[in-house]
Every structure is written in structure tokens, then in C-alpha cells.
Structure 1
């Protein structure tokens, strides 16, 4: 079986390459209309150029997975800001899509924790739909709207998990079907366990994004990897199942992500994956990003029976 690896947004081994440069609304309000347009366009173009730099870096290092920054376009979903963030950057978006397709990369987005469908407040759901539409528009501009995924969490429980889950299913009906087809759902570290998330995914026909660190921090009694993983695999059809990977910063700060991934923390999962013989993709969420990815691959490759398969993959 093959495990392929990727990281989130910013390649730290590149100089000044953040694709998440931004502008606050407070700053935006102080500018003239001409300055607003000029500065927004400069920031967006820089973010897209830095994304292209990261993709070239990934191609050179044979890293097949990459998560785009959700902050490519500052203020894109702000109620008081309205501008064309696609047209002026058509060439950059198309270049990104060409690189992804030509080099068979797997890409995704992960909106923030406020993009959720469990709230009883209509404006929260409206904002969630708006944010999902924004991410989909970016994928569409890249020509990746049929293959790129937009990953979110189920959301809060608000003191009554069963009612919150019913609201999730009801509120999700407001999301256009073509966007829902590109979404994934991830288990979280405090509220919705892997089993609960799986049930929602199975009911809605949505692929599950299994977060191993979150599973270790928040799982039901008797919830076992050997029983969860096959069900998780079955939620995926056209692409390998995808797993988020990080390890605790410390025992006290267990839910916080460490700079790098502790291989001893990962070994129980690797053992189960090898037994099940299922190709999977790992998205590294450690703070050291690409550096953590490269270090973990080196360490896994040193394990007896594991073989390196290019720069960003291993045979397990």
C-alpha cells in the first residue's frame, strides 16, 4: 500500500512565500476607493503567485498533496466589501489549475471553524453557505471544481447534540448540491467523534476526513480503529481516503499541534493501515508544515519493511 503526503498552504522552506497575506476591514475602511482596489489586487496577486511558488516546490519535491490557503482573497465574504476577485486574476488561477492537473496533485480547502451548519441562528447558516460558495468559486476559477474538496467540521452541539445534528441535516439543504458534492466532513477534538461524524457522512453521502489526532483526543469508549477505518474508507469513491495527521504539543496541551509529528504517536495507525492494505493520503497539519512532512517521511522510511516511493510517498 502507498501513503502519500501533503501539507498546509505555506512552504516554510521557501523564503517569504505565505499565500495568506491579508487586510483587515478596519484598514480597508480607511482607504480611498482607488487605494482599496489597488491594495486588494496587490495582496491577491501576491497570494496567488506564492501559491504557484509552493506548487512548483511541491512538484520538485514530489509532494502530491497540497491544501490551498482559505485566505487567498482578503475580505471576499465580508458583507460590506464587494469586488471581482476572479476576473482580474484569471491567468493566475488558470496557471494554478494547470500545475495541479499536469502533475496529478491532490488539492483542497479547509474553511475556518465558523463555517458550520449546526447553528439555530439563520445568519450563521447563511454565512456558512456564502463561505462555501467562495471556496467553490476559487476551485472553479482553477478548473478544479470537480476534484478539489472543501473540508469542514460538523460544528457545535449547543447543549443538545441530537438537536444540533438534526439542524445540521436541515441547514445543509441550503447548500447548493454542486458544492455539497465537493465537501468533506472531519471529526473534531472536542465535540463530534469519528463515529458520530461517520454516521453523518454515511447519511448525507459525504466523504469523511479522518483526523487521527482528533480521534485520539476525542473518542467514545470502545471506539476502535480496526472497526472505524473500513467504514471511513467506504465513504470515498474516486480518490484515496484522506487522513489529517499531527501529534500533541504536550500531554498538558494534548489538543494543540506540535511543530513536528511524533512517529511513535503515528505507529498504531500505521499498523492498522498496513493490516487493512488500503492506500491513503496524509495531510500533515503540524506547525512546521513541509518541514514536518519531510522529517516524518524520513522517519517512516527508516522503519523496517517500509520503502520510500519518491519524495512525498512511501510503500508501507
Structure 2
């Protein structure tokens, strides 16, 4: 069985879990308003997903904007914990698997202690969101970051700086990228930390190392205790290598199906969001039903 999902927003509903604000506007009143908007849209998306046949959703990193910033104005987990627990229960009732994916600014392997400190704070925030949601199968996806002139030292720092982060490691999964870290190297970090590895098909096509897609998936899938997750995307031909297309090309979808060694959850990273997934549903009636 294959379940499909998409990240952060739903274009049909015009709903997003990534409403944010500028750091200069970081007041409790304004943040609470953005969080309320994000949580309302999260509920709309979860209900839509169930009826439309989607089983995965990646929550936007700005669900609680600047939550990991040292100047954040209030205890966000206490203030929003009850609503997050309610939405987590709803997600489970609707069969929705949730995830988060901090951006490239999160780099625990950096040689700069301040970057590491900020990165760990963002990862702790993400893990806390998944914990409050009660997302037992929730996944916190992370790239290995830069090489900083020495691949081995960067990989060691990444592992060492995360080794004691039990709350983060509970949900963490590490992912290959299109330039620096292939699946084989990501598997080294995953093994050292005792976490699973996510294979991104587009990244692997651009940075395959010695492995075919089938071989990469065959090595990554045993690292998962639960159902493995895979990222699927197609290259936008008009942009730089690694840029996602609006929709997944049929050849890329068929290539993944032919390479999968077992059932998986597939996160479709298309610019068209739910409309970029293979066999996407009709978009017309949904916005009226989930206002």
C-alpha cells in the first residue's frame, strides 16, 4: 500500500500552515493571531485530505512563527498545547501521518557553535510540536547540511551534536541532498544516531553515488521501524538542478513504483502541492465544503 501526501499548504483550499510575520513584528498578540490562523487551516487540510484520499501532511515550519527564537514572547507550548493535542487526535482519527522539515538554516554539523545552538533550538521546537500532537509516527526530516571543507569532520559533528537530543531523535530522519550528501553517507549518519534515512528521488537522480534508486531504497527501508517514507519530485526544466516542478512527471512516478522494495509513504514535493501529486483529485468542490 502506498499513501501520498504533500507539504505545508493546500492550494485548493487556499489554506496554509506557514502563515508568518517579520521578526520586527514579534509581539505576543501578532504571533497568537498567526498561530490561530495556522491551526485553523491545519484542521481544514486534515479533513480535506481524508476525503480526497491523502494520508500524509507536512506541517509548515512556521506553525508557531519564531518559536525557537530567544526573544519569543510567551510559552507557546503551554498556550497552544491543548489545541495541538486536539488536532493530533483528529489527525489520528482521520488516518493522517504528520511531519516537519526544517530548512537549510538548521545545520547541527556546523563548526560555528552559535549556528549549532540555533539549529538545536529549532529541532527541539519541531520535535515538541510533534510530541504535543501525539504523532507517534511523526517524522522530523533533516539534511546533513554543509561539508565546511572537511566531510568527515562535518559528519562527526552532526552526529555528536545530535546524539544527546533524545526528544529530537525520537522523530528524526535524515535525508540525502542533490549536491553534497548522497544516500550512502546519509546512511552512515542514520546508523550512528539510530534513526531512519529518507531517500529523495530527485536528489538521488542528481547525486546518486554508486547506487541505483532501487539499491538506495533497499538500503534505506530497513532503517525504519514503522512504514518507510520517501520523497518524490520532478525536476523543473526551466530552473537550476534540484528545483521542483509543479507536478510529478509520469516517468518519475513509474520509476519510483518500479524501484520500491516494499510499501511506503510518499511525500510529493511538487510546487502544485495536492494538485501536483500523481492522480490528483478534482479541485472544484472542495473549497466550498471546507471554508
TM-score by length of 1: 0.84
**Change in CA separation of 1:107 and 1:261 when aligned onto 2, cut-off 3 Å:** same
SS in 2 for 1:86: helix
Q: Deviations over 1:242-273 (max 9, x none)?
A: 11011000176331000111111332222122
Q: CA deviation at 1:47?
A: 0.7
| Residue aligning to 2:92 | 101
Residue 242 of structure 1 is matched in structure 2 by 229
Deviations 1:66-98 (A, max 9, x none): 111110111212222231213333442122111
1:154–1:12 distance in 2 versus 1, CA, 3 Å: same
How far the C-alpha of 1:179 sits from its partner, in A, is 2.0
Match of 1:258 among 241, 245, 249: 245
User: Pairwise mapping of residues 4-19 of structure 1 onto structure 2 (< 5 A)?
Assistant: 4-15=3-14, 17-19=15-17
SS of the residue aligned with 2:247?
A: coil
Which of 63-72 and 223-232 deviates more? 223-232
Q: Which residue of 2 aligns with 1:151?
A: 141
> Separation in 1 of the partners of 2:214 and 2:30?
51
Give RMSD over aligned pairs. Answer: 1.7
- Of 68, 85, 94, the residue aligned with 1:77 is 68
Q: Cα distance 1:180–1:228, how it changes in 2: closer, same or farther (>3 A)?
A: same
Q: TM-score, normalised by structure 2?
A: 0.91
1:232 corresponding residue in structure 2: 220
Instruction: Supply the distance in 1 between the matched residues of 2:214 and 2:130 (Cα, whole angstroms).
Output: 34
What does residue 164 of structure 1 align with? 154
Equivalent residue in structure 1 for 2:31, among 33, 37, 40? 40
1:185 match? 174
Residue pair 1:24, 1:75 contacting (<8 A) in 2 also: no
1:22 equivalent in structure 2 = 20
The C-alpha deviation readout for 1:15-55, integer Å capped at 9, x for no partner, is: 3x122111111233xxxxxxx22222111111111111110
Q: Which residue of 2 aligns with 1:270?
A: 257
1:121-132 mapped onto 2 (5 Å cutoff): 121-132=112-123
Q: 1:298 to 1:104 in 2, by over 3 A?
A: closer
> Which of 273, 280, 286 in structure 1 is aligned with 2:270?
286
Range that drifts further, 77-86 or 108-117: 77-86
**Which has the higher mean CA deviation after the structures are superposed, 88-97 or 210-219?**
88-97
Check 1:219–1:241 CA distance in 2 against 1; reply closer, same or farther (3 A cut): same
SS in 2 for 1:230: helix
Following the alignment from structure 2 to structure 1, what is the Cα–Cα distance between the partners of residues 132 and 170? 17
Matched residue, 1:120: 111
Q: Is the 8 A contact 1:49 1:92 kept in 2?
A: no
Match of residue 286 from structure 2: none
Larger Rg: 1
* Structure 2 segments unaligned to the other structure (5+ residues): 282-291
Partner SS state of residue 190, structure 2: helix
**SS of the residue 2:122 aligns to:** helix
Question: Does structure 2 conserve the Cα–Cα contact (< 8 Å) formed by 1:189 and 1:214?
Answer: yes
> Which SS does the other structure have where 2:211 is aligned?
coil
| Residue 223 of structure 1: how far off its partner (Å) | 1.9
Aligned positions, number: 281
